[in-house]
Amino acid sequence: MQSGRAAAATASNKGLADPTSQIGTVPERRAQPRSQWLVTSRLVFSDVVLACLIWFVASILHGAWGRAELSEIAVVGNVSNVLVWVGLRALLGLYPGYGLNQVEELRRQTYAVGATLATISTFALVFHIGDLLSRLLLVLGFLSLLLLAPLARHFVKRGMMRAGVWGKPVVILGAGEAGARLVRALQRDWQLGYRPAAVFDSFLAPAGGVLEGVPYKGTAIDAKHWARRQHIDTAILTMPRARRKSFAKLISRAVASFRYVIVIPTDLTGITTSAVVARDLSGTLGVELKHNLLNPWAQRAKRALDLFGVVAGGLLICPLLLAIAVLIKLDSPGPVFYFQQRLGSGGKHFRCWKFRTMHTDAESLLTNLLESNPEVRSEWEKSQKLRRDPRVTRTGRFLRKTSLDELPQLWNVLRGEMSLVGPRPIVDAEVAKYHEVYKLYRRVRPGVSGLWQVSGRSDTTYEERVEMDAYYVRNWSVWLDFVILARTVKSVVSSLGAY
């Protein structure tokens, strides 16, 4: 450790001319390599079991509905479906799928199901065996795979994570603030499967020899030898302090030493992979930035998803809406619904509907409380929310805890004023807090749910909320909406960060 620090200090004293010029020796204990084959085998095994179970249940339902017994060809076809599906998932990089965020993972899983269906259909057409295959069975099977496979994969990965199996160790080249931010992000988003094992930097060493709990092991040149001993094949490079020539040399050395090298351009902080495509322009690296919501077809797809969700979901929850209305009337006098003027797409105001969760004299209660209690006033100024709000009724506390008070906003979605997923609707007083991000906010409809609602909600700062809204607008896709909607169900059940 001391030699690594000395090398870093020497490089600094020489003007940081060559970050690879100093070589330190860092003693460490040999770490056991992760059994990646075990991770892959578990994922494959769980997929095969799930697929076989789905086809078995579909076969039972097929018989229960009075259909003819399955032919031998149909049985063989179901086995082929499983093999083709697993094979296509392997070709799409889902085993083990390290480095794929939830959006990209869902996209590839959906493509695997669609491609399997297309393959089986083409095979049946070419060999004239379509009449021997049960269309009902195929529909049930593939719809179940489409819905259950992502859920099953999530729980299998979570189980492996808790058992300490999921994830591959990586080294971080860069110990500054950019490196610390990267380590925090990888530790938070465990599903990516990248576990920082050590940090290397030729310019500076973190205080105490540790960066966000990850040990510092020396200069960038030390990474090659240390990683080889630890059987680590992936490096992530983020060194904003490096000069251009030095940074290019670092990349060259990293590529020669590691099988996988991820380079994070510091000028693209905040831009994620779902909005960026690398282009090879005759040997010159180009980065294409896409704004999906500027595509008219993407906007139509989002609107179609909203309408389908409102119609289908609204019919299912009608009894729940009626029960909530009765509880509100029994708990306190006043109307069932409450609305507030909010800012929507294009800066236009609209009435945002909710179930009433406060007493009718809520405004006067809030004014008196803020004037008499400086601590409460400080909490209100930070987030426009109070953890212990005296204005909220007993039924209102339950509705807020479960987010059921937001359900009337389905009417706003039907009217085209809101979307099922989007930035949280804000009031005029909040525009100043959004700064330049408000220009992005104006481009989309606010959402009933969104990244803020599924990422801690009131436990996050207002600045983090603004960053989440900006991230959503820049990186929107139908897949991102699906991920947020799925996480919304989990947030409602767990009531995480709601008050």
pLDDT tens by residue, 316-368: 899 999 999 999 999 888 899 988 899 999 889 999 999 998 887 767 777 77
Q: Which residue has the higher pLDDT, 79 or 399?
A: 399
CA dist 422 → 344, 398, 447, 473 (Å): 11, 24, 4, 8
**Percentage with pLDDT > 70 across the chain:** 79
pLDDT category at 3 given cuts 50, 70, 90 is: very low
- Arithmetic mean of pLDDT, 43-57: 89
Q: Which residue has the higher pLDDT, 242 or 429?
A: 429
On the question of pLDDT at 299 being above 70, the answer is: yes
pLDDT category at 71 given cuts 50, 70, 90 is: low
Q: Which of 210, 147, 204 is nearest to 174 (CA)?
A: 204
Q: Which residue has the higher pLDDT, 1 or 480?
A: 480
Q: Which residue has the higher pLDDT, 74 or 329?
A: 329
Q: Which residue has the higher pLDDT, 297 or 283?
A: 297
Residue 383: what pLDDT? Answer: 64
Fold of 2-30+167-269: Rossmann fold (3.40.50)
Residue 374: what pLDDT? Answer: 78
Q: Which of 44, 28, 35 is nearest to 163 (CA)?
A: 35
CA dist 320 → 29, 53, 142 (Å): 58, 33, 31
Residue 246: what pLDDT? Answer: 75
On the question of pLDDT at 200 being above 60, the answer is: yes
Taking only the tens place, the pLDDT of each residue in 92-137 is 999 999 989 888 899 999 999 999 888 877 766 665 554 545 666 7
8-12, 303-307, 419-423, 437-441, range with the lowest pLDDT: 8-12
What residue spans define the domains of the chain?
2-30+167-269, 36-162, 296-357+392-494
Q: Which of 192, 195, 242 is nearest to 220 (CA)?
A: 242
Task: State the DSSP code for 390.
Answer: T
For the record, the structure tokens of 92 come out as: 């799409």
> Average pLDDT over the chain, rounded to whole?
79
